[in-house]
Structure 1
Amino acid sequence: MNYTQICKAFNDLTVTELYQLLKLRSEVFVVEQNCVFLDTDDKDYACHHLLLFDNDQELVAYARIVPAGKSYAEASIGRIVSSKKVRGTGVGKILTQAAIDQTKKIYGDVPIRIGAQYYAIKFYEQSGFKIDGEIYDEDGIDHIEMILS
């Protein structure tokens, strides 16, 4: 399947795009993963937002590109999420590579740090990320920091 990719700074998002990305994040992180947390953490304003739309113009995957100093010392990619209906189709790999490419386009050839859910280590290693830290709990889910140098 082909996906339409859009990457925008927060202030360039349309109201509809903002609603769609917040809805997808809530569907997965709050409802599906049963995590009670405040997703709107005030970092969104400083970030770029990568959206992948399917052929029906429905948002099916999303990642937040975070500048250095906002979450970590390095630039980072966060809120990496895909809709249940496209999981297992390779969209996660497409999204991750697009997020890496966009981060480098925006910030140059810099290291990229992520806070990965522990179960997804092998997935992120396929994109070149390496473990760089210890397991920690975030909202009841084991995470680990990884870096792409």
Structure 2
Amino acid sequence: MEFETTQSARWCRLQQMSPLDVHDLLKLRQDVFVIEQTSLYPDIDGKDPEALHLLVRDGSSNALIGTVRVTEDVQAGTARIGRVVIAPSARGTGLGRKLMLAGIEKVEEILPSGVIDLSAQAHLESFYRSLGFETVSEEYLEDGIPHVDMTRRCGAGN
């Protein structure tokens, strides 16, 4: 997935991040998920150390403007895309679609015939459908926000 020339993007594990990367990742997620969405939940859930993280920074300010997390279970042939977050300053630029496409591409590298799962905020269900995901659950509350479970086979296109 190609990002804007004014942006830098890289995949890494938590252990490969600098202290500033870890700080910026957790701060962006906190600012959006906990403060902006007023959802008190345990963002630090123990999955970050084993996950792959895509960090997208603004090239001029070096601010973290977007991130996505991929957790994989190679033996089960499944992966989960989650913690998709975009800084308010980068919303409306198409970055969300780019983050998701990059996440799908990464999972397909790891699990070419696998399945990708995600828990989508219900108001974004049509966005995820446009990326080839299908809804597989009724709407439910997760951390006080309506969600649906969605899935996509690797190689399904969008």
TM-score clears 0.5: yes
Matched residue, 1:68: 73
Q: Work out the CA distance in 1 between the residues paired with 2:23 and 2:111.
A: 26
The total of aligned residue pairs comes to: 147
1:73 Cα deviation after fit = 7.7
1:31 aligns with 2:35: yes
Q: Work out the CA distance in 1 between the residues paired with 2:43 and 2:104.
A: 22
TM-score of the pair, normalised by structure 1: 0.92
Matched residue, 1:21: 25
Structure 2 residue runs without a partner (length 5+):
154-158
1:50 aligns with 2:50: no
Matched residue, 1:87: 91
TM-score of the pair, normalised by structure 2: 0.87
1:7 Cα deviation after fit = 0.5
Structure 1 residue runs without a partner (length 5+):
none
The answer to whether the 8 A contact 2:140-2:146 is kept is: yes
The answer to whether the 8 A contact 2:14-2:49 is kept is: yes
Moved over 4 A (4+): none
Percent identity (aligned): 33
1:109 Cα deviation after fit = 3.5
Larger Rg: 2
Q: Work out the CA distance in 2 between the residues paired with 1:109 and 1:24.
A: 32
Matched residue, 2:110: 106
Partner of residue 138 from structure 1, selected from 133, 136, 142: 142
SS in 2 for 1:67: strand
